[in-house]
Chains A and B, each alone.
Chain A
Amino acid sequence: MLDATQDGYTTADGRKIGGVVMEMKNITLRFGGVVAIKDISFDIREGEIRAIIGPNGAGKSSMLNVISGFYVPQEGEVLYKGKPRPQMKPYQVARQGIARTFQNIALFEGMTVLDNVMTGRLNKMKTNMFQQGLWKGAAEREEVENREVVEKVIDFLEIQNIRKTPVARLPYGLKKRVELARALAAEPSLLLLDEPMAGMNVEEKEDMSRFILDVNDEFGTTIALIEHDMGVVMDLSDRVVVMDYGKKIGDGTPDEVRSNQDVIDAYLGVAHD
């Protein structure tokens, strides 16, 4: 799958990170006169947890939308698995093995957790509406197969007790977890998380961090995440891209980024010493 000439690296905790999965080359994104992203380049490697951080309005979500293929940059190139990516519809992106969660939870509130997570399997279902209406045969078999995958995800994220609960009745932190479950149900190779910890309390954040690490560890899923809780980002990620006003001002391991003066000034406030 990967170009053998691209070297990976080994993380501090001994995980082997592979070659480049996705590469951003000189991306510039404009909305009318507003420049959201200015000439940014970075890559995401196989098996790593890659964070994009920055203050409000830095262009993080726009960047994630470029990665997901929802926005098409005016300049620059997105290479996915070594090939330039053509303009695609969201479902085509999903078929490529990319799944995401949203900053403002986008679940079907009236449906149960189980049904919501099942929608993550939609891409894998081949039966049509009529077969499903008849139910017997192919549709039933398919449902059972997909339900098995979904149950494994439910078990993994420890949400068995809310399996049959309508999403609207859940607290915020759990909804976020259900959204992660739906993304995992698609068995993605690249998982995009848009502010997975936003609005969570300390305990919920700890849970979510553990799940993100477990997903990466257990399934080898490559994860790109946006987050503005610095503590969380520094603990979780292997490499961090820092953005400010649409520009990249830092890129490297958490330690490198932490000691980068531009980053300290822009994001953490100017240090007075």
Chain B
Amino acid sequence: MASASRDAGKFVSLPALLDRNAETYGTKPAYREKQFGIWQTTSWSQTRTEIRNLARGLINLGVNKGDFVAIIGTNRPQLYWSMVAAQMVGAVPVPLYQDSAAEEMAYVLDHCGARFIIVEDQEQVDKVIEVQDRLSQFEHMIYLDPRGLRKYDHSQLHDYAHVQETGHGLRDELNPELDRRQSAITYDDICVMLYTSGTTGKPKGVVLSNRNIIETSIASSKFDNLTQKEEILSYLPMAWVGDFIFSIGQAYWCGFCVNCPEGEATLLTDLREIGPTYYFAPPRVFETQLTTVMIRMEDSTRFKKWLFDRYMAHARKVGGDILDGKPVSLGDRIKYWLGDKFVYGPLKNTLGLSRVRLGYTAGEAIGPEIFSFYRSLGINLKQLYGQTEAGVFITQQPDGEVRADTVGVPSPGVEVKIGETGEVFYRSPGVFVEYYKNPESTASTKDAEGWVATGDAGFFEPDTGHLRIIDRAKDVGKMADGAMFAPKYVENKLKFYPNILEAVVFGAGRDRCVAFINIDLSAVGNWAERNNIAYSSYQELAGHPQVMETIQHHVEEVNASVAEDEMLSGCQIHRFLILHKELDADDGELTRTRKVRRRIIEEKFHDLVTALYDGSEEIATRTEVTYEDGRKGYIAATLKIRDAKVVPVTTQKVAAE
């Protein structure tokens, strides 16, 4: 732990940390990227050279201190370098979600007033050009991949390699200027600006200072004993704060290696080849992996299936306890060891998780079964609770105190309190500076003493001191009879079934709850295949009576489980339907981080909600959809509505405040 004990005082910016890493870890790998099928490594000292060349190129293009430089693309070393190069010349990097439509980009680019934009490829160049006339401050765009761009007008367009070459050529001339700019960076200068995806309203630009990022990175690296030897696979959106902390903040503080996958489709192969030691994934990724494993086991031979079932049952029994260091009998240990040789080891290897020392999941609640599946295999998967405004970390789970239903204890340096309304507040060195050009929102979120409102309702468990999050505070409401309504709580229970991809529960101010369901096409599709059920589209499968039947069972099971909770027993689902389309970020129904936008969905499908409440058996509807290229079309469908059995609740207690 040589690195983490170092004094942060000398290193007030990421470029300063880069200098330290180039000196201390010189030839050790900093970045790896698969190019033409071969992993290419860039060492820390090469990284410094690359970044400095680019930084001089940026100065040459006219980037000034305080300019905003937008960065759009998938996780590529060059784009990570672009962020640090921008910082080095005193500018502020603003990473954007690369899958955003041009319209969404226009808002963010205009709001931050980006003069320079660094993009990955033609796709992004086209999007920027499309909205260019609305960006009054935009001047130059730099692209990484020249493919297809040769014939474009190059008066404002520059090839990344060319900018770097120019920067290299001007090294003697511009080095003093670059060094002067770098040494002028202070601890309280802006490190990065990240736009929140926003479940409501327009995205807000969260300003994070060098202090925020570096202090958070140091504290979190110490918490989990991260070292220079970690390997991570960076595949989550660069615009997401987590990726900035893991792939830049912690990577620069600890000096570990960031591996960039070849592409989205090769992710699982790349994961296996790299075998990360520190791994981060949202629950959805773990769910998908587990679903894939289960589907493949269903298709394998009977002997293998038997072996798998038998040993997984054993792992569920003792695996988690072994990981937590709890006492386990010798016989069970031997059996687990055997299981590890024949089942768990090979399985982890297939999943690319053989070397994982530390795994985190966050963003959404993870199903207890999914969570314990990975833990029982011996993978140290933990949960954390965080926000962009906090520089990720608010609470996290210490080793040995991991549970599926809590999010752990406050992270080092973070103070957490529960407000009178049950809302969670926190204060830490990682707390953001402000929302850019939005003092009202800043004031309503962060008070004078630095306490930030999370917008989530939660409470500390008295005996363990762990935080439990119930729901978004805004979404927690009351039903007509005054009972507490927490939609997310019920939705999560539904989503834990592999067949259900997404659920939206309605009921605020009403006398009973109803739900929209999205089926998981891969899980249900596989089931259909095995049962010789033909279908041609999501819509057709979603409307199949047997699928409806299965989902109804799931809903009824959830009702039974919800009924056990006195506080929330009113949230049982009385009626439901399966939506005719998958909820999609392109249609504005989900955020780019795939969170449900409740109000938008309620407005858009108001006819369906009405039908759920007025007792009709079916409803014909027509919905506008947006294709990936931005064109629009319509889906028309007639949806069946089903009633689900609810457990009668006799003693209706008053909801806790």
Contacts and interface: CB of A to CB of B under 8 A. Distances in A.
A161 B269 contact: yes
A261 to B, nearest CB: 34
A214 B37 contact: no
A217 interface: yes
A115 interface: no
B265 interface: yes
Contacts of B147: 156, 214, 218
A247 interface: no
Contact of A155 (B36, B148, B269): B36
B421 interface: no
A152 B269 contact: no
A116 to B, nearest CB: 15
A163 B263 contact: no
A160 B262 contact: yes
A235 interface: no
B150 interface: yes
A160 B263 contact: yes
A251 interface: no
B151 interface: yes
Most chain A CB within 10 A, of B37, B148, B263, is at B37
B650 interface: no
B150 to A, nearest CB: 7
Contacts of B263: 158, 160-161
B617 to A, nearest CB: 35
Most chain A CB within 10 A, of B36, B38, B151, B263, is at B36
A252 B147 CA distance: 29
Contacts of A155: 35-36
Interface in B33-75: 34-38
Nearest to A148: B36
Contact of A217 (B34, B37, B148): B148
Contacts of A214: 147-148
Interface string B255-281: 000000011011001000000000000
B148 A163 contact: no
Chain B interface bracket (under 10, 10 to 19, 20 to 34, 35 or more): 10 to 19
Contact of A151 (B37, B150, B266): B37
A172 to B, nearest CB: 16
A13 B150 CA distance: 13
Nearest to A114: B37
A155 B145 CA distance: 12
B151 to A, nearest CB: 7
Nearest to B629: A206
Interface in A115-164: 147-148, 151-152, 154-156, 158, 160-161, 163-164
A161 B265 contact: yes
A14 B151 contact: yes
Interface string B15-47: 000000000000000000011111000000000
Contacts of A156: 147
Contact of B265 (A151, A160, A217): A160
A163 B268 CA distance: 13
Contacts of A148: 36
A13 B148 CA distance: 13
Interface in A204-233: 214, 217-218
A151 B151 contact: no
Contacts of B265: 160-161
Nearest to A153: B36
Contacts of A164: 269
Contacts of A160: 34, 37, 262-263, 265-266
A154 B34 CA distance: 13
A11 to B, nearest CB: 11
A171 to B, nearest CB: 14
Contacts of A158: 263
Contacts of A151: 36-38
Contacts of B38: 151
Contacts of B269: 161, 164
A217 B265 CA distance: 26
A161 B36 contact: no
A214 B148 CA distance: 7
A36 B266 CA distance: 47
A154 B36 CA distance: 8
Nearest to B34: A160
B36 A217 contact: no
A272 B262 CA distance: 54
Nearest to A158: B263
Given A151-B37, A152-B36, A161 B151 contact: no
A151 B35 CA distance: 9
A193 to B, nearest CB: 20
Interface string B519-545: 000000000000000000000000000
A231 B126 CA distance: 23
Interface string A153-197: 011101011011000000000000000000000000000000000
A160 B147 CA distance: 17
Contacts of B35: 155
A164 B37 CA distance: 11
A160 B148 CA distance: 19
A218 B263 CA distance: 21
Contacts of A161: 262-263, 265-266, 269
B37 A163 contact: yes
Interface string B146-186: 01101100000000000000000000000000000000000
A154 B151 contact: no
B74 to A, nearest CB: 13
Contacts of B262: 160-161
A155 B40 CA distance: 15
A214 B150 CA distance: 11
B150 A154 contact: no
A148 to B, nearest CB: 7
A14 B152 CA distance: 12
Interface string B114-153: 0000000000000000000000000000000001101100
27 contacts: A13-B151, A14-B151, A147-B37, A148-B36, A151-B36, A151-B37, A151-B38, A154-B36, A154-B37, A155-B35, A155-B36, A156-B147, A158-B263, A160-B37, A160-B262, A160-B265, A160-B266, A161-B262, A161-B263, A161-B269, A214-B147, A214-B148, A217-B148, A217-B150, A217-B151, A218-B147, A218-B148
Given A147-B37, A155-B36, A218-B148, 9 more contacts: A151-B37, A154-B37, A156-B147, A160-B34, A160-B263, A161-B262, A161-B269, A164-B269, A217-B151
Interface of A: 13-14, 147-148, 151-152, 154-156, 158, 160-161, 163-164, 214, 217-218
The 6 closest A-B pairs by CB, nearest first: A161-B265, A151-B36, A161-B266, A151-B37, A160-B262, A160-B266
